[in-house]
Amino acid sequence: MSSTEETIYCYHCGRRHPSNEMRQIATKAGKKWRCIRSIEATKRDVAQRDAFGKTVTTINKSENQARIKARQNAERLLAAG
Ligand SMILES: [Zn+2]
């Protein structure tokens, strides 16, 4: 390597990245270096999962409400008949 650019081993990717792309993070096993890109990618994944979870919850809620309404309608019909 002719480059004078410093590289640091990224435990997440298992390869070296330029040091300006690296962040040192604290893990249970001690301080480790990880690239900003993988950290940001993980953050995005978590945000997407949260958004997905909220969507599912909303769908479940509206399904429940539809079921409750259908039952109330049925009971009303039975009561009327
Ligand atoms: Zn990396």
Express each pLDDT in 35-73 by its tens digit. Answer: 999 999 999 999 999 999 999 999 999 999 999 999 999
3-class state of residue 15 by DSSP: strand
Distance 6 CA to ligand 1 centre (A): 14
Please give the distance, rounded to the nearest whole angstrom, from the Cα atom of residue 42 to the centre of ligand 1.
Answer: 11
Ligand 1 ion local residues (Cβ < 5 A): 10, 12-13, 35, 38
**Helical (H) or strand (E) element with 30:** strand 30-35
pLDDT on residue 80: 81
Distance from the alpha carbon of residue 8 to the mean position of ligand 1, in angstroms: 9
Q: What is the pTM of this model?
A: 0.60
State residue 3's pLDDT score: 55
Beta 15-18 vs 7-10: how paired, if at all?
antiparallel
Q: How many CB atoms lie within 10 A of CB 16?
A: 15
